[in-house]
Structure 1
């Protein structure tokens, strides 16, 4: 405590107190000794000898223990410093060590020595501190360890300045006898400095080894010792040797997130280099109860009565990088000071019972066994704390000890205890981020059941199985050893079943997700093929995993037969009553393999054809239409499976065709036409024509049935090399027509077709071409029916000059006939030549025009009738010129010549007379 004494009076009092303490040990100041008489000296010598003989056994035992012990005096000084009081300390409490050639200077900003401290430091086996937990050393005992390295220790603290001196050859009284030494430097009031004069005399090799030991103790001093010190916050180490000065400072501080940071700063003065690094420590404390007594510790009656020895604190410190990554390195076990390395990657601190050298613990001590059990509990508490951290909750298991790296059976038991508690405590985060779960209740479903973005292929089960995706591979490897499993086949099958039963099933509604569909199918077929358990196969067979075209999903165990939607490389048409797998599902190779494994087969082509024929018979008279595409698909299937060597035209009369109005027809019963762009085809000839300028060219149109345009889209390829093309097959096999009929199919009496009459009336410019185009296929009926021939002869057709003349009265406009007509008419009148779209030559006669002259009476030569026709044409000329009369006389001459050549004069005479009566020029 502070006092009101002046520094001078306080110094005198301190000197007197030191003198009093030294006097108790038999020390007489030389000044007084010299003043004594010989008898007085003898009297004092006898008294001192008697006193020292009383202390000598304890002193010798202390001296012997110092030189035989392997204790590390630097740690003994650290423990004394931790036990100090720092009420008046300026700045953070610290201790510093400054090693030079022959000295080690220790400074500490403690409050300073008290008389009780001085008495303790001058005693043997006495301390100013009780055995209360938290004190890690004793000033009166641990301090003596400095004489392992020094022959003299000067202590300056507050008003006190004194030294102890002890050489190996001395009795040892110097270690407990303080001698006042005038201070040479005024220190801050709350500061204690100990200056150790290191041994310089004796065996050089021993001296050198001792210096090396001191240096090693300082160099190996780690800042983590501050973690378990409640008072000290900084350790400073300066090594000043061989013209090189290195300063290392360890500083302890608390971070905002509750961790403890140890900052290490190293300064090299000769190079002005600065090295700085920091380690975070997560610290967990746990109170252990019902401990046995520490047999190496003396307890007061009060402590013994209250059984304070039965409780102790276990502290675990877990090293972390600044980024909160676990640092996995072998760490020490502390009993307030480092005791040993036991193979753990976290630091352990507790009030262990240690051996005399503080370099090991008693593994059989009941108290230590109790503390060991408490460490396991503390580890679980730490793990739970880690689980509240954003990243450490996924990496804390890296701190789990490895039994193969632990150094003794005592500590191996701790490993077993920790592992047992880890298995029994919910410490693992599920993928949803929900409450912690037991490690054995979760599975690692990745990567086997994850997509490219590491999301699960399917929703997790309830309760969920999947461990969080944020666990690293190295963390998962550790968890596997503690009970974590990868997914089980049955669990994935349950996930699939759960999904299929869901109203928003991913399998059902994410059809375009090829990766999902393929992965699920792959896994299921793998399980089905490789499992040894029939129960697993049964689970898969009961999954409604097979999608049908009608929207239903069936299982392989369904009583309904299911087929692939294709056969022989062709798509099976819809609406045939088959349960067909949805096409996109069947087209995915892995899904198809799964379906095959589950027993799905393709239909026979013959079965599909028979069902098509049956379906067309059934649906022809049904009320309500089927979709047009069904008929189109089915007809194309029939075409694509038509085999000329097997299938004839007779097999198709009942097949339904759809016309352009969507009506159902059968080609044998109704004419259905194939639309094309042929100007003489049905569509072009019969379509309505609107002309704004010339009403004479308008046509109202004529309605016939054309096959629906869907049949002509996506035209199928010929199934065989010798197969008909699609359009040809429609015509030749199905009876679809390319040409209009010339004769009405069902009229009575027989008559020309309505289309024929329509073209003659409304498309006269096309009628002759229409006849020429259709006659090869349709004219044979007319050729054998004179009644039809007569009707066709009487149809008026378009002739040159716009005349409409009955067909049988017309002439083909061959060039020679045109020339003769022009010779006589000279362009003043139109002859009854047919109006054709293209000029014709006589060489085309046999190919194109024979039927016109043979069956229909059209004329093609310069017969008598031809010249009489020219004569008749003159009758239309209103006024004749002299040249016209000359040509008329010439025409008469030609007519007379033709008459003379005729074998039957009577009938020819009548023809001439009739023509003359109607054609007088």
Structure 2
């Protein structure tokens, strides 16, 4: 028998083993709800649950007797970040598209991003929802850690590798339209609340495990049971005052949004009034064909033709417009390098010329892109794309960087 005041090691091990088994059984039941669970999926779910429990305990001291001395500062910082940096609801859409572009995809997969608006209350809080489906490889532990922090972008300093995100604040923008965003990916099934967690007095960045609503069967019913569920699903139960605004912004996403993206090949928007996948309306834009880059004699220049296709109704035929894209790189002068682009040795400008009538939805228009549309509109018959340094709201270009020490490039 172990001495009084000490725990027997085998007893502690047995307790831990029992707890893990109970967690495993619960997760098996959750994953079995809606589809057959493989051993790999079950293993991912168990590891994900343990990771979330570790974050809650280690970072936010949930379940600990000692208070977190940074509680007030953390809550103020993240609340200000979410409410002040963005001036229009549209930015959460741009951030989600940007994140999807930066995600990793398996070889042979056509990267796709799908928005589904449903009146069904799948989260059980009495709100319609927007679901975002992305067929990427799924969230890693590092990605989850980034969601549970402020300014912890996993892509900072990697512009040269093709990443277009950098500020580490993108996902927080969803709190403009949803008070309880959910993330289902790679075994993780979590949500974040803008209301401070009662156990640590911090909101926005504290993960909560989702064990009830929605279930995978709920998600699958809305997506469609006849096709494989994408690895990543983001669920945004909408704030009542934001429902119409989200519908409007989704309907006005410009079809040229894919023009300067390297990965995403299809973006669709579907609206349904029930818990099924039957669409009341649908619109989609895709890159139907994309010619290989053709190098030109001009130093650092190449060109290609991108065919964008648009479908505006469920049974409508696609409308296609070819865009002739001229791309030229310019070496950056050493004395013009800035911290935000210190890994970039060549600055690239692209001009896209539509051949025929430009694609358009609603009254939206575009002029200047920084991979995705900015708020700057020109009257030019072509589109300008550059890796411009933007304000945190993604609305405006910070021209001070371009004007630093005169010309930006040779």
Question: Same fold per TM (> 0.5)?
Answer: yes
Deviations 1:666-722 (A, max 9, x none): xxxxxxxxxxxxxxxxxxxxxxxxxxxxxxxxxxxxxxxxxxxxxxxxxxxxxxxxx
**Alpha-carbon separation, structure 2, partners of 1:168 and 1:26:** 12
Task: From the superposition, tell whether residues 256 and 163 of structure 1 become closer, same or farther in structure 2 (CA, over 3 Å).
Answer: closer
Deviations 1:302-335 (A, max 9, x none): xx4xxx3342111111111399xxxxx9741001
Task: From the superposition, tell whether residues 345 and 63 of structure 1 become closer, same or farther in structure 2 (CA, over 3 Å).
Answer: same
Runs of 4+ in structure 1 off by over 6 angstroms are 168-172
**The one of 156, 178, 192 aligned to 2:184:** 156
Contact 1:127–1:140 (Cα < 8 Å) also in 2: yes
**Alpha-carbon separation, structure 2, partners of 1:131 and 1:253:** 32
**Alpha-carbon separation, structure 1, partners of 2:78 and 2:398:** 28
**The one of 215, 229, 238 aligned to 2:247:** 215
SS of match in other structure, 1:6: helix
Greater fraction of residues in helix: 1
Contact 2:115–2:270 (Cα < 8 Å) also in 1: yes
**Alpha-carbon separation, structure 1, partners of 2:78 and 2:249:** 26
Q: Match for residue 225 of structure 1?
A: 257
Deviation at 1:151, TM superposition (A): 0.8
Contact 1:261–1:280 (Cα < 8 Å) also in 2: yes
**Alpha-carbon separation, structure 1, partners of 2:346 and 2:86:** 35
SS of match in other structure, 2:146: helix
Task: From the superposition, tell whether residues 172 and 285 of structure 1 become closer, same or farther in structure 2 (CA, over 3 Å).
Answer: farther
**The one of 185, 189, 203 aligned to 2:216:** 185
Gaps of 5+ in 1: 34-43, 201-206, 324-328, 375-921
**Alpha-carbon separation, structure 2, partners of 1:254 and 1:223:** 15
**The one of 199, 205, 230 aligned to 2:239:** 199
| 1:260 lines up with 2:292 in the alignment | no
**The one of 258, 271, 281 aligned to 1:246:** 281
Q: CA RMSD in A?
A: 3.4
**Alpha-carbon separation, structure 1, partners of 2:72 and 2:195:** 19
Q: Match for residue 123 of structure 1?
A: 149
Deviation at 1:87, TM superposition (A): 2.1
| 1:82 lines up with 2:101 in the alignment | yes
Contact 2:90–2:249 (Cα < 8 Å) also in 1: no
Alignment size in residue pairs: 328
Map of 1:661-810 to 2, 5 A cutoff? Answer: none
Contact 2:332–2:346 (Cα < 8 Å) also in 1: yes
**Alpha-carbon separation, structure 2, partners of 1:25 and 1:255:** 46
Map of 1:822-837 to 2, 5 A cutoff? Answer: none
**Alpha-carbon separation, structure 1, partners of 2:348 and 2:89:** 27
Map of 1:310-709 to 2, 5 A cutoff? Answer: 310-321=345-356, 331-339=366-374, 340-366=376-402, 370=407
**The one of 230, 253, 267 aligned to 1:235:** 267
**Alpha-carbon separation, structure 1, partners of 2:232 and 2:196:** 26
Q: Match for residue 27 of structure 2?
A: none
Contact 1:158–1:190 (Cα < 8 Å) also in 2: no
**The one of 41, 47, 58 aligned to 1:24:** 58
**Alpha-carbon separation, structure 1, partners of 2:104 and 2:238:** 28
**The one of 325, 330, 345 aligned to 1:288:** 330
Task: From the superposition, tell whether residues 11 and 280 of structure 1 become closer, same or farther in structure 2 (CA, over 3 Å).
Answer: same
Contact 1:27–1:177 (Cα < 8 Å) also in 2: no
**Alpha-carbon separation, structure 2, partners of 1:56 and 1:166:** 10
Deviation at 1:125, TM superposition (A): 1.1
Task: Compare CA radii of gyration and give the structure with the larger one.
Answer: 1
**Alpha-carbon separation, structure 2, partners of 1:70 and 1:370:** 35
Deviation at 1:279, TM superposition (A): 1.0
Q: Match for residue 97 of structure 1?
A: 115
Gaps of 5+ in 2: 1-37, 120-127, 221-227, 293-303, 359-363
- The structure whose RCO (Cα within 8 Å, separation 6+) is larger is 2
Task: From the superposition, tell whether residues 89 and 167 of structure 1 become closer, same or farther in structure 2 (CA, over 3 Å).
Answer: farther
Task: From the superposition, tell whether residues 330 and 67 of structure 1 become closer, same or farther in structure 2 (CA, over 3 Å).
Answer: closer
Deviations 1:92-111 (A, max 9, x none): 10111112342110010001
Deviation at 1:149, TM superposition (A): 0.2
Q: Match for residue 409 of structure 1?
A: none
**Alpha-carbon separation, structure 2, partners of 1:27 and 1:89:** 43
| 1:141 lines up with 2:141 in the alignment | no
Contact 1:260–1:283 (Cα < 8 Å) also in 2: yes
Task: From the superposition, tell whether residues 138 and 80 of structure 1 become closer, same or farther in structure 2 (CA, over 3 Å).
Answer: farther
**Alpha-carbon separation, structure 1, partners of 2:316 and 2:81:** 43
Task: From the superposition, tell whether residues 71 and 367 of structure 1 become closer, same or farther in structure 2 (CA, over 3 Å).
Answer: farther
Task: From the superposition, tell whether residues 342 and 167 of structure 1 become closer, same or farther in structure 2 (CA, over 3 Å).
Answer: farther
**Alpha-carbon separation, structure 2, partners of 1:63 and 1:321:** 41
Greater fraction of residues in strand: 2
Task: From the superposition, tell whether residues 348 and 219 of structure 1 become closer, same or farther in structure 2 (CA, over 3 Å).
Answer: same
**Alpha-carbon separation, structure 2, partners of 1:57 and 1:246:** 40
Q: Match for residue 55 of structure 1?
A: 74
SS of match in other structure, 1:358: coil
Deviation at 1:56, TM superposition (A): 3.2
**Alpha-carbon separation, structure 1, partners of 2:73 and 2:91:** 29
Contact 1:330–1:343 (Cα < 8 Å) also in 2: no
TM-score, normalised with respect to structure 1: 0.33
**Alpha-carbon separation, structure 2, partners of 1:267 and 1:233:** 19
**Alpha-carbon separation, structure 1, partners of 2:151 and 2:134:** 24
**Alpha-carbon separation, structure 1, partners of 2:262 and 2:201:** 34
**Alpha-carbon separation, structure 2, partners of 1:211 and 1:169:** 25
Deviations 1:66-109 (A, max 9, x none): 5766661100111111110012563x101111123421100100
